[in-house]
Chains A and B, each alone.
Chain A
């Protein structure tokens, strides 16, 4: 089992460029999440998908869009990147969105916007 995989690992964008971060899980989990982590900070939820076919905003959704492509894959899109979106992005999954379920995190994508 690979768990949660993310691509790319690193990316540098110029302001205004767009890109899609990819995430896949092979644990047959129903729920998936996107977080960002700024230097010295904890993680903040951007969007989540409680189950296939549904997506909802988290704490910091502005400037992002998501697609739950199928049960395995959940992508995060930056339509017009801004320097404030420089961060490390983590994808996570859990069996369900219930309060007792643990989340499994990917290795992260380090994004720099110049």
Chain B
């Protein structure tokens, strides 16, 4: 199974950009890269996903390396409400369908 590696925690100042890195060196050519976040005591929330090209939506941007072995989630202006655990996930379909969630990056936003 292709796995992801993320830093355990990061800090950011409010209203500054945040770059959350993810390494996935064993990604296969057809794996999508998904990002979810989980606020305290809530279920995960979809943030963004992509395959090869960089992607933007109202919440964030996703920058995917040309070799697809890494990606970066970009929050353009962090707010206190962005404090959460961010999961970088590969959609794996190897017999049994599953997301592999990992332990994610805990983002702390400082006022």
Q: Which residues of B contact A103 (CB under 8 A)?
A: 36, 44, 46, 99
Size class of the contact patch on chain B? 20 to 34
* C-alpha gap A42/B42 in the complex (Å): 13
Asked if B87 and A102 make an inter-chain contact with CB atoms under 8 angstroms apart, the answer reads: no
B-facing mask of A82-104, CB < 8 A → 1, else 0?
00000000101000010110111
Q: Is A50 an interface residue (CB 8 A)?
A: yes
Q: A74 on the interface (CB 8 Å rule)?
A: no
Tell me how many residues of A have a C-beta within 8 Å of chain B.
25
Interface residues of B (CB under 8 A from A): 30-32, 34, 36, 41-46, 49, 51, 87, 91, 93, 96-104
- A-side residues, CB < 8 A to B, are 4, 40-45, 48, 50, 56-59, 90, 92, 97, 99-100, 102-108
Closest 4 CB pairs of A and B: A42-B101, A105-B43, A102-B46, A99-B91
**5 A-B contacts (beta carbon < 8 Å):** A56-B97, A58-B98, A103-B44, A104-B46, A105-B45
